[in-house]
A = this chain, B = another copy of it.
């Protein structure tokens, strides 16, 4: 597949795992709570509920529900599973918003700054708008626009989410590119006409888990981080 880089106008970024280190950030915060919990196991258990929860919305079993609320539903079950009792309602609400306080990968901010010099950069995340705005404010993520499933009322991998980027910017899908660390996300984007950049994040699930970071010819770019992607795109 040949791509003319000058045809690409908008880079849309997956966020959880691609831009920020959800696993490490949550593990650190949970460990720091001093409850004797295994932060890594806790983060993994919480994330495990994520796709099934969105699927309930995607299938219509639940009306539109933003990620903050889905995270809370999952958190309540995880707290029960880990036999955590005695947290105040405020403490639980604060913990639920750890997703607003995720740390970027070391290359993220510098890479986005370079990419922003040539392209319009936006999010295309299942995270809700306030989550993404709070995260960006705290971490200094220089988005030109925050786009979210909340704008389209469709979670990825629903086609409406991917097609929404081109619709918002009045561009053919082929002039927009999804940047993501997840092959299934990229395959869905490509299936809806977007260009695709695979960025490997081998530590997304912590140091003990194997992640598929193999090159896949189906994607237009394969980069080891955002700085590498910026160089490949001529930024």
Contacts and interface: CB of A to CB of B under 8 A. Distances in A.
B137 A133 contact: no
A130 B164 CA distance: 12
Given A146-B145, A151-B151, A68 B136 contact: no
**Main SS of chain A's interface residues?**
helix
Interface residues of A, number: 20
A130 B68 contact: no
Contacts of A128: 168
A170 interface: yes
Counted per complex, copies of this chain come to 2
A133 B122 contact: yes
A50 interface: no
Contact of A170 (B68, B120, B146): B68
Nearest to A68: B170
Interface string A109-133: 0000000000010100000111011
Interface of A: 68, 120, 122, 128-130, 132-134, 136-137, 144-147, 150-151, 168-170
